[in-house]
Structures are given as C-alpha cells and as structure tokens.
Amino acid sequence: MPLRKHDRCATSLRPIHFDLEIPGAAPGRVLASAGQTVILCTASIDPEVPPWMAGRGKGWLTAEYNMLPGSTSPRKRRNRSGKVDGRTTEIERLIGRSLRAVVDLSQLGERTITIDCDVLKADGGTRTLSITGGFIALVDALLNFGSMAAFEQQPKPWDELPVTGSIAAVSVGLVQGQVLLDLDYPEDARADVDMNVVMTGQGRYVELQGTGEEATFAQTELDALLALARQGIAELTSCQRVTLGDRWPCG
C-alpha cells in the first residue's frame, strides 16, 4: 500500500494537536485535531446531580456529542427537533462511560461533570478523538474548579484530583489486507474490519468495538489490531501528557 494521507505509514497516527488556548466560558476546554478531524471538547461542572443520584454523596459524569452542520460535506442538517439519533446516543454513552472509568465519582461530591464534544470537521475517528480530547478537557476543568464563580465559596472536596488514570481511544482496521492505525474517513469506508479501542494509559482496556463489514477476521488479525491500537494509545497518552505538562494528574 502506498503512503497514506499526511505521508504516513500503516502504523502511524494522523498529525495530532491539542490547543488549550481557546476562548470560552467552560472551565475545561481543548481544541483537538487528528488530521482533518477537528473537535471542540469542553468540560463543565454543575453543583447538582441527576435526581436518581441525589442523596448518595457521589458525583456523576456524562457526555454530549454533536456534529455541527458545517462539519461534513454535504452539510449535516441541524437538529431542531430535540430528538437525538441512535448513532449520537451511542457515541455519547461511549464517551461518558470511557471517562467515568478513570474518575473517582465518590470524591466529586454531588456534582455533575458534562463533557461536550462538538465536531467542527469530520474525517473519521470523531468518537475516539472525543474521548482523547475529552480527558484533557476533564482534567482542565478539575484543575480550574477553585476559580469558578459558582464554587468560590465551596472548598474542593478532594486533596488530589479525583482521577485514577488517563484514558485515550484510537481506531484500527483491516484495509485491503493490511492492518492500519487511526483510520480517516475514506479508509474507514472501505475497511473490511474496523475497530475502536479505548484504553487507560496504564494499558487496561475499557471498551472494544470491532466489526467485520461483509468480512470475518482471524484471531491472528485481531491480535495484530489490538497490538497496533496499544501502540497508538501509548502515543496519544504521551501527547496528552505533553499538552498538560506539569498539570498531568497521573504521576
């Protein structure tokens, strides 16, 4: 297979960039990009939990995901009905449970963290980049907790950030018989097998989503996909660490 877009080989990530210096009111925010996919990830903290969690002394983390009209061509119609389609719901749940895997909700008190992921441009991998960027926005919000006007009179309920580890996600796939890392949209569209892998920075799996499209795959191919995903997660974790610098919460 010839070199892929961005002159990368089969085992290379797309160019990854995280920008914390963006305007906004949310206490945590980052503009995340992977090649041509660009997502604004923000994290907000509200001083209450959903009614079904009230009185437990624990916090909650949830996520919302949206593809803006200009993120695709042709234009994606704006949702004005209040209804969320099945794909969006599935991605929101994936982002939420992935980030909850590395948050100690008992330390939050009765507060809700909402991770908003708004896709500005889509070229594959929006759910995985939402998780990877969402973690940075989450840490940014927790670090900025004390400067938030809504909480100025409330002490932090934690001595250390209630984060038990880092989380990142990446796609892998089989395209024309070759194992590829971090698929863009054209690659994903013609993949025989595609998989999204969510892992902690410590190398533990949170979720695997793998599907054969009119194809099957062998154990050896699955092993190769997972090995490449592990490599990609390690590289993404390093990017997260560099972005947060001395604010990195994971030792």
Q: How far is CA 31 from the centre of its chain?
A: 12
Give Cβ neighbours of residue 216 (< 8 Å, ≥ 6 apart).
Answer: none
> Could you tell me the pLDDT band of residue 76, with boundaries at 50, 70 and 90?
confident
Q: Is the dihedral of CA 120, 123, 128, 133 positive or negative?
A: negative
If DSSP codes are grouped into helix, strand and coil, which group holds residue 54?
Answer: coil
Domain that residue 77 falls in: 10-245
| Cβ atoms of residues 111 and 158 within 8 Å | no
Average pLDDT value over all residues in the chain: 90
Tokens of 102: 């590395």
Number of folded domains that form the chain:
1
Q: Report if residue 1 sits inside a domain.
A: no
Residues 115, 148 contacting (CB under 8 angstroms): no
Give the residue from 99, 181, 109, 90 showing the smallest Cα distance to 133. 99
The tens digit of pLDDT for each residue in 208-250 reads 999 998 899 999 999 999 999 999 999 999 999 999 999 999 8
Question: How would you list the strands of the sheet with 28-34, edge to edge?
Answer: 16-19, 28-34, 37-46, 112-121, 60-67
pLDDT digits (tens, 9 = 90+) for 42-57: 999 998 998 998 889 8
Share of the chain above pLDDT 90, in %: 73
Question: Would 5 be classed as within a structural domain?
Answer: no
Quick check: is 251 in a domain? no
* The predicted structure's pLDDT at residue 149: 47
Residue 88 located in a structural domain: yes
Rounded to the nearest 10°, the torsion over CA 3, 8, 10, 15 is -150
Q: What is the CATH number of the domain that holds 24?
A: 3.30.230.70
Q: Is 102 inside a domain boundary? A: yes
Please check whether residue 93 lies inside any domain of the structure. yes
Residue 162 counted as domain residue? yes
153-191: pLDDT as tens digits: 565 666 788 999 999 999 999 999 999 999 999 999 999
103-156 residue pLDDT tens: 999 998 899 999 999 999 999 999 999 999 999 999 999 998 865 545 555 656
13-18: average pLDDT: 97
| Residue 176 resides in a domain | yes
